[in-house]
């Protein structure tokens, strides 16, 4: 699928480069000039993918991405706050997908209760940043001030990691699909408990949810504007990306890959299975915990329905779509799924609504595409499994090894003066 760039193709790649840069420039300007247009927004999101695929050095990509995401998007956000919010939402899911990718992609442990860790972070902050905590703690004043948000980011990380270890410890001996079912059960238990823990002691306020959650504060500046959360999420994503990349390329990451490919072989090579799996669970969970804290601060209202099994499957669909084990894939998968959910489906259903309003065709209200996200997630999962189990952007580890071998074989063939056909 991927062409190895040979001198003869250099011209091609130069043309590609020009086309790609033109596309990115066009998409950005178009969106800046038409901040209300959904098509411009889609082109803009597409330009991020084009940038990733562009045959330019990494630091150039980083620079362009910094300009696009750090300057252009906020400028557009001045005109249309809605899209800034959508992009922030995309960002939260990007971080969640990267986190789940550590568990599912790197270590090969299917976690269907991932959203439980997200919920633990969200509820942790929400309980203490509303007056809810005074129901069971009398010696302090609640809600805590916005400055507490920052320590809570770390607390969320730690609490979620502890949950990850607590869940992981008993179940990690189980085989893949059993593990998946148990994590599903865990996720459901957490949701049911959150839903019902308003008695005997009111801790979570049950299905009514918690509100108003204190916005974070930074040196007296109250962070309650969409732009603040946009930058906050952007910074967190950068950190997550770096951490995930470093983990993947570390000794730990290689151990995870070994466990994923062949557990028995990994064990006989002296990899401590339980410790490595626990580490994967805990690090994946901690990402979700941090995002949970941010989510509850951003929404200012949370209830158990935000943490349903559906969410876990949505995040899983992002990881599978992008390619298990591929960090870039997780990013692309998250962008694609959230944009599909929030933008394409919504636009499509608005369009249908317009049509029936004008009386061109009558579309029953039951046929509202925005309501059929399960259908779409399901179709994505099946189609990816059947047609492209490695995802849109397959993980590089196997690919890199393969390339290296091809290069070596070629070099060998050249010294011997014969042609080796590597398909």
Partner 1 sequence: MQEFYHVLPQILVDGLTLGFVYAVVALGYTMVYGVLELINFAHSEVFMVGAFAGTEVLLFLQAMGYLQGLPAPVALLVALIIAMVLSGLLGVAIERIAYRPVRMAPRLVPFISAIGVSFFLQDAVRLVEGLWKNAFYLTAPTLFTSNIALSANLKLPVKSLIVILAAVVMMIGLHLFVTRSKWGKAMRAVAQDKPTSALMAINVDRVIALTFFIGAGLGGAAGTLFAAQYSLVHPYVGFILGIKAFTAAVLGGIGNIPGAMLGGVLLGLLESFGAAFLGVATNGAMGAEYKDVFAFVILIAVLIFKPSGLLGEAVREKI
Q: Which residues bind partner 1 (CB under 8 A)?
A: 108, 110, 112, 170-171, 173-178, 180-182, 184-186, 188-189, 192-193, 195-196, 199-200, 264, 309, 313, 316, 320, 364-367, 371-375, 377-383, 385-386, 389
Place of tokens 């998968």: 333
Contact present, 24 and 44 (Cβ < 8 Å): no
- CA 307 to chain CA centroid, Å, is 15
Report the nearest approach of partner 1 to the CB of residue 199 (Å): 6
Cβ closer to partner 1: 80 or 195? 195
Cβ closer to partner 1: 112 or 255? 112
Report the nearest approach of partner 1 to the CB of residue 369 (Å): 10
Report the nearest approach of partner 1 to the CB of residue 179 (Å): 9
∠ CA 157-158-163, rounded to 5°:
100
Contact present, 153 and 296 (Cβ < 8 Å): no
**Element at 248 (helix H, strand E):** helix 226-248
Report the nearest approach of partner 1 to the CB of residue 153 (Å): 30
Report the nearest approach of partner 1 to the CB of residue 402 (Å): 18
Cβ closer to partner 1: 196 or 249? 196
Cβ closer to partner 1: 99 or 143? 99
Cβ closer to partner 1: 177 or 419? 177
Report the nearest approach of partner 1 to the CB of residue 290 (Å): 26
Report the nearest approach of partner 1 to the CB of residue 219 (Å): 44
Residues 6+ apart with CB under 8 A from 3: 9
Cβ closer to partner 1: 123 or 186? 186
Contact present, 161 and 102 (Cβ < 8 Å): no
Rounded CA gap, 68 and 234, in Å? 12
Report the nearest approach of partner 1 to the CB of residue 305 (Å): 13
Rounded CA gap, 168 and 192, in Å? 20
Cβ closer to partner 1: 81 or 381? 381
Contact present, 167 and 186 (Cβ < 8 Å): yes
Closest CA to 298 of 89, 67, 96, 55: 89
Cβ closer to partner 1: 190 or 294? 190
SS3 of residue 159 by DSSP: helix
Rounded CA gap, 25 and 16, in Å? 14
∠ CA 78-82-83, rounded to 5°:
80
Other CB atoms closer than 10 Å to residue 85's CB: what's the count?
17
């Amino acid at each position: 699928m991927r062409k190895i760039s040979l001198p003869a193709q250099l011209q091609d790649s130069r043309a590609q480069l020009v086309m790609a840069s033109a596309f990115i420039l066009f998409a950005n300007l178009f969106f800046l000039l038409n901040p209300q247009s959904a098509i411009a927004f889609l082109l803009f999101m597409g330009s991020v993918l084009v940038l990733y695929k562009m045959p330019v050095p990494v630091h150039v990509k980083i620079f362009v991405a910094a300009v696009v995401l750090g300057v252009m998007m906020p400028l557009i956000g001045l005109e249309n706050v809605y899209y800034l919010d959508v992009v922030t939402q995309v960002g939260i899911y990007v971080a969640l997908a990267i986190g789940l990718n550590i568990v599912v992609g790197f270590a090969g442990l299917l976690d269907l209760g991932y959203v439980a860790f997200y919920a633990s972070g969200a509820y942790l902050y929400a309980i203490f940043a509303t007056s809810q905590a005074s129901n069971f703690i009398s010696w302090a004043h609640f809600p805590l001030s916005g400055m507490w948000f920052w320590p809570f980011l770390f607390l969320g990380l730690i609490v979620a990691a502890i949950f990850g270890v607590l869940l992981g410890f008993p179940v990690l001996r189980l085989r893949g699909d059993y593990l998946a079912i148990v994590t599903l059960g865990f996720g459901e238990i957490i949701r049911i408990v959150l839903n019902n823990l308003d008695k005997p002691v009111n801790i979570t306020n049950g299905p009514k949810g918690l509100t108003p959650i204190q916005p974070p504060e930074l040196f007296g500046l109250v962070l309650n504007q969409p732009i603040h959360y946009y930058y906050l999420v952007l910074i967190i994503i950068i950190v997550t990306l770096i951490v995930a990349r470093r983990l993947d390329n570390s000794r730990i990451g290689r151990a995870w890959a070994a466990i994923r490919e062949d557990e028995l072989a990994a064990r006989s090579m002296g990899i401590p299975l339980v410790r490595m799996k626990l580490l994967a669970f805990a690090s994946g969970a901690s990402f979700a915990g941090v995002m949970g804290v941010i989510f509850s601060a951003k929404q200012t209202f949370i209830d158990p329905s935000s943490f349903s099994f559906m969410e876990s499957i949505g995040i899983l669909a992002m990881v599978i779509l992008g390619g298990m084990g591929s960090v870039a894939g997780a990013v692309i998968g998250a962008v694609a799924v959230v944009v599909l959910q929030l933008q394409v489906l919504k636009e499509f259903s608005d369009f249908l609504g317009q049509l029936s309003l004008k009386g061109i065709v009558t579309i029953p209200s039951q046929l509202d595409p925005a309501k059929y996200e399960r259908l779409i997630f399901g179709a994505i999962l099946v189609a990816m499994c059947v047609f492209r189990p490695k995802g849109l952007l397959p993980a590089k580890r196997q690919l890199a090894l393969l390339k290296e071998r091809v290069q070596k074989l070629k070099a060998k063939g050249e010294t011997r003066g014969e042609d080796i056909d590597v398909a």
